[in-house]
Amino acid sequence: MGLYNISYKDKERDDLINSEMGNPYSLMGKLKLGGVGSRRLIIENLSANMDHIKLKVAGIQYGSIEIRPQGIIVHINQGLDVFAWTIPFYRLSIFNGDFFTIHGNGEYLQFNKQKSWTENDVFIKKMLRLKLEFSQSQSIS
């Protein structure tokens, strides 16, 4: 699980992310799942260890979530830079309170629920279903 600056192409970093999360779904896989990416989410708060990627100027910071076979990648925009936070399914926790919050390995990211939850409801349910299917397949092995 890591936090990577993916603003520029880097084959070694991409290979590391693919080995950790699984290769991106093929076009047929994406169609079969009904899409693997969330709509744009408004970031409200980050854990202290991720505070360095918080916007330095006032404004709205956006993120999105990509589903991979072994977990999710949270894409976080910081001005011109884009960061990828990889979270394997076995480390992923999602909370629905005042904020829509994703936790992974002691870190968290809070999204604005009013503007993000309803338009991503189907995607979030799909993500939870795939996490459950992954957990069940791992317990059988």
- Count of positions (residues) in the chain: 141
Q: What is the rounded average pLDDT of the residues 6-27?
A: 94
- In the predicted model, what is the mean pLDDT of the chain? 90
**What residue type is 17 in one-letter code?**
I
Q: Which domains does the chain have, with CATH numbers?
A: 3-140 (2.30.29.30)
Q: What per-residue confidence (pLDDT) applies to 22?
A: 93
What are 103's two structure tokens?
Answer: 């936790």
What are 86's two structure tokens?
Answer: 């990889």
